[in-house]
Copies of this chain bind each other. A is one copy, B any other.
């Protein structure tokens, strides 16, 4: 673990990031598999320095835990149940590796710090999966994109955090033009529809969908090139500049 000393971080406050990507017609989430014996899956998360804006902290944490930088993260909810503790997680780790607590006073202090009740601020982003290269750290066995509907059991309440993030994405999708971040620069109406279907986990009627999307007034249709082949191809769209 990095240095969790209370001198550095605001106590009892964490940030967890839900990064959505889209591939093979499936909505996916970026998840770290922690580098401990046992299956410990976790969202990329961390803590806030005393002199750091929380939005900057979210970006720093994401970069430290995934290598991904320069994306726009949105706050979506604060998880503040009183029973929300790392305790079960850390107890399991210590059961697996009792040495952890036997490395002297400093570790004991870190343990106390880390086992308090934490309030976590959730941030999400939707990214073009082809434009980011997630990188694992020493903390992780691996870092993976996993289908949002096939996530493993994660630590603490991280599965609930993903559910709430998905709810926020659905509510804000149109208003914030978020969805199109997940697609390549140009895309067909069918591709947009498949994306929406993966996010809402339900089918849309083609005509209604097309009308709804065009009514958002954020897309422009590209001119077809007048070759024989292209005329049979579907129209391509992109976000208006």
Which A positions have Cβ atoms within 8 angstroms of B? 10-13, 48, 50-57, 75, 77-78, 80-82, 117, 119, 121, 171, 175
Contacts and interface: CB of A to CB of B under 8 A. Distances in A.
Contacts of A55: 80
Interface hub of A11, A50, A77, A119 (most chain B Cβ within 10 A): A119
A53 to B, nearest CB: 5
Given A51-B82, A52-B82, A78-B54, A119 B13 contact: yes
A21 to B, nearest CB: 25
A178 to B, nearest CB: 14
Contacts of A119: 10, 13, 48, 54
Nearest to A12: B10
Contacts of A121: 78, 80
Contacts of A175: 171
B80 A77 contact: no
A119 B51 CA distance: 12
A238 to B, nearest CB: 26
